[in-house]
Amino acid sequence: VLPSGRIVTAKVDRVFHLVSEENKIEGTWELADYASRGAQPRKLTLNLAGKNTNPEKVHFDGQVDLTYMTPNKEDLILHFVGKKVPQGEKWTIAGQGSVTGSMVKHPIHSKLNAEVTEQLLKGRMTDDGKFPSAHYDFELKAGDEIEVASNGKINQDQLNNDIEIKLPSDLAIKSVKWNM
């Protein structure tokens, strides 16, 4: 209890197994601020879950959720899932993110999937001076109004890329599409 009468509480629940094969990380951190005893709190909560995490090799597979709740139960939720793991001679890179909750007028959702070579990650060309192969898919949505979708492929000296943008219905231009 603070001299002003406010009450601040913190809760921590975590598990770290950074030396096992799974390199598992799990945890919940919560900070609550009460204006007075019996009042509804303002809360900030962080949930973290990860496995197969290797900071030296920059491998990860995890999820992060950050939630803010007002005393009158309005909320803001940030959600992220990410993965960068080796798959044979290539790497899978995937991610999803969102910003949602009652405080968000136009929720945002994004998604990325890619498969790239170790050479490309290190910024190196192939022995004959061409680009290593890779491909990706990306989506972004803001409410029901705006959507962006893109996919592409790199193969040696060829780059194929499509981008499509859907705009709000009240605009004169409803969509834009570009192929390269």
pLDDT digit string (tens) for the chain, length 180 residues: 788 889 999 999 987 766 666 678 889 999 999 998 889 999 999 999 988 877 777 788 999 999 999 999 999 999 999 999 888 888 899 999 999 999 999 999 999 999 988 877 777 777 787 778 889 999 999 998 899 999 999 887 788 899 999 998 888 888 899 887
- Are 83 and 96 in contact by the 8 Å Cβ rule? The answer is no
CA distance 139 to 148: 6
Q: Do 104 and 64 have their domain in common?
A: no
pTM: 0.82
Q: Do 92 and 180 have their domain in common?
A: yes
CA distance 119 to 34: 52
Q: Do 31 and 117 have their domain in common?
A: no
Q: Do 68 and 141 have their domain in common?
A: no
Q: Do 94 and 54 have their domain in common?
A: no
Q: Residue 87 has what pLDDT? A: 86
Q: Do 61 and 132 have their domain in common?
A: no
Q: Do 65 and 96 have their domain in common?
A: no
Q: Do 145 and 69 have their domain in common?
A: no
Tell me if residue 107 falls in helix, strand or coil: coil
Domain boundary among 51, 73, 95: 73
- Name the token pair of 69: 């709740």
Q: Do 142 and 159 have their domain in common?
A: yes
Q: Residue 159 has what pLDDT? A: 82
- Owning domain of residue 32: 1-73
Q: Do 39 and 93 have their domain in common?
A: no
Q: Residue 124 has what pLDDT? A: 74
Which residues, at least 6 apart from 71, have a Cβ–Cβ distance to it below 8 Å?
A: 35, 39, 40, 41, 42
> Which residue, 76, 93, 75, is CA-closest to 84?
93
Could you give the number of structural domains in the chain? 2
Which residues, at least 6 apart from 136, have a Cβ–Cβ distance to it below 8 Å?
A: 112, 113, 114, 115, 150, 151, 152, 153
- Range list of β-strands (E), the chain: 7-17, 24-34, 42-54, 59-69, 75-87, 90-100, 108-117, 131-142, 146-156, 158-166, 175-179
Q: Which amino acid is at 3?
A: P
Q: Do 69 and 85 have their domain in common?
A: no
